[in-house]
Amino acid sequence: MKQAGILLALLLIARPIVLAQETPAPALTLKVTADRADAIYKSGEVATFTIEAVVDGKPVSDGQVTCVFSKDGWQPQPPQTVVLKDGKGTITSKLDEPGFLLLRTSSGKTAVLAAAAYDPLQIKPSLPVPDDFDQFWTAQKAELAKVPLKSTMTPVQGPAKGVDAFDVQVDCLGKPVSGYFGRPQNAKPKSLPAILFVHGAGVRSANLASTYWSEKEGGMLSFDINAHGITNGQPAEFYTALSEGELKDYRAIGRNDREQSYFKGMFLRLVRAIDFLTAQPEWDGKTVIVYGSSQGGYQAFAAAGIDPRVTFFCAGVPAGCDHTGNVANRISGWPKLVPNDSAGKPDAAVLQASRYVDCVNFAARTKCKGAVVTVGFIDTTCPATSVYAAYNALAISKAIHADVAVGHANSPAASQVMQEAVYKHVREMK
């Protein structure tokens, strides 16, 4: 009995003590919508935004939210307070010029964005194309042409059974082109279109899964390249070390000198990647597509602007648009290359250099057969104002897919639009 008593006492001591726990506060959900489904207005028209606040599925009985308007994130206005009644409230504002009116609504730690577009198809580039833009890129391509087109193709196991896949490196100025190449098995000479996939910002391997595209539309030559000419298929730690070391903040490298700009080397690798694709015996001799989003969209614009072999491009939520927006008192796209100096004015050297790596100027030079661009109205990374500035500079057959309530991402609908556009172009080129 004594031992049993001791055991019972030990069990009681070991039993966890349950403390009273606070019930988590109900989650607040905010929803803000413009009074037009497409959220498109003419300059000077008033846009009305309806704000809805819900907690646990029920409208908030009363309360208030803070609202801040801006020109697509540029020059935010003083905060305004909106009192809610039965969980709803409204606020109005307008723009008197082409652009985007961005509204940030918040309560505590909860915040949402909404936007209204004002004459978006009238947004112009903030500066004209430099007089020597073509001369500059012709000289860069001439230097690249001096490098022999030498490639190394290492067979790898790809995801598609009917596709031969290779890890490819192609000599270039500076870093090589590095990616995964897919080729349908038993492809006939001069039978296949070519598609080049390019990456968003960051440091990573090329994507072997892109070789699946070699099975589409009767077969394609697919080439997915990483943005930096680095080794593919390495452990995550390899790319982390690069992003924290040699390639840390690569977007700013050489930004004050067009000859030293990091993006100059990135874009010349696009030309060399197209050299590789068009040198393949299976290439149909006429079709080159470039496909990418964010920084990949930036590269797609660049490739079409400096390489006349590009026949079509898809640019999802593209970066690199209208670097010089601050001279026109508006926001620029990622990577927001041009800082202000100590006097609050755009850095003169960076401003000038940025014009040679700007989507608005590549757009003005492209002669390809068509393009599809996607844009998110509440994208704070690649703001819609900058995207439309580049899109509007295209003087070719084009289409834009706009997502009113999407930020920096391609919605499923946008991705489908891009893919279907590629298929259509391939069919038209046959």
Assess whether 96 and 163 both reside in one domain. Answer: no
Amino acid at 181: F
Assess whether 112 and 235 both reside in one domain. Answer: no
The CATH number linked to 376 is 3.40.50.1820
Which segments of 114-191 does DSSP mark as H helices, in order?
133-145
> Which helix (H) or strand (E) covers residue 197, if one does?
strand 192-198
Examine the fold and report which residue of 91, 121, 151 is the final residue of a domain before the chain moves on.
Answer: 121
Q: Cα separation of 30 and 51, whole Å?
A: 7
Contact of 120 with 40, CB cutoff 8 Å: yes
- The DSSP call for residue 332 is -
Assess whether 41 and 160 both reside in one domain. Answer: no
Assess whether 189 and 266 both reside in one domain. Answer: yes
Q: Cα separation of 282 and 191, whole Å?
A: 6
Q: Is residue 304 one of the residues assigned to a domain?
A: yes
Q: Is residue 245 one of the residues assigned to a domain?
A: yes
Confidence (pLDDT) at 150: 98
Assess whether 297 and 394 both reside in one domain. Answer: yes
Confidence (pLDDT) at 13: 32
Q: Is residue 19 one of the residues assigned to a domain?
A: no
Confidence (pLDDT) at 3: 39
Contact of 59 with 107, CB cutoff 8 Å: no
Assess whether 34 and 109 both reside in one domain. Answer: yes
Amino acid at 36: R
Q: Cα separation of 265 and 415, whole Å?
A: 28
Radius of gyration of the chain measured on its C-alpha atoms? 26
Q: Give pTM, 2 decimals.
A: 0.93
Domain with 244 in it: 133-429
Assess whether 102 and 181 both reside in one domain. Answer: no
Assess whether 109 and 144 both reside in one domain. Answer: no
Confidence (pLDDT) at 233: 98
Assess whether 184 and 316 both reside in one domain. Answer: yes
Examine the fold and report which residue of 121, 150, 185 is the final residue of a domain before the chain moves on.
Answer: 121
Confidence (pLDDT) at 21: 46
Q: Cα separation of 229 and 206, whole Å?
A: 9
Assess whether 83 and 175 both reside in one domain. Answer: no
49: number of CA atoms within 13 Å, CB side? 27
Assess whether 88 and 139 both reside in one domain. Answer: no
Q: Is residue 241 one of the residues assigned to a domain?
A: yes
Please, which residues bridge with residue 293 across strands?
Answer: 316
The CATH number linked to 101 is 2.60.40.1930
**Pairing relationship of beta strands 192-198 and 177-184 according to DSSP bridges:** unpaired
Q: Based on the structure, what is the number of domains in the chain?
A: 2
Among candidate residues 338, 343, 336, the one with its CA nearest the CA of residue 321: 336
Examine the fold and report which residue of 121, 156, 177 is the final residue of a domain before the chain moves on.
Answer: 121
Give the pLDDT confidence of 389-424 residue by residue, as tens digits. Answer: 999 999 999 999 999 999 999 999 999 999 999 999
Low pLDDT (below 70) residues in the chain? 1-26
Q: How many CB atoms lie within 10 A of CB 346?
A: 19
**Pairing relationship of beta strands 62-71 and 99-107 according to DSSP bridges:** antiparallel
- For residue 339, what are its two tokens? 């800082």
Q: Is residue 4 one of the residues assigned to a domain?
A: no
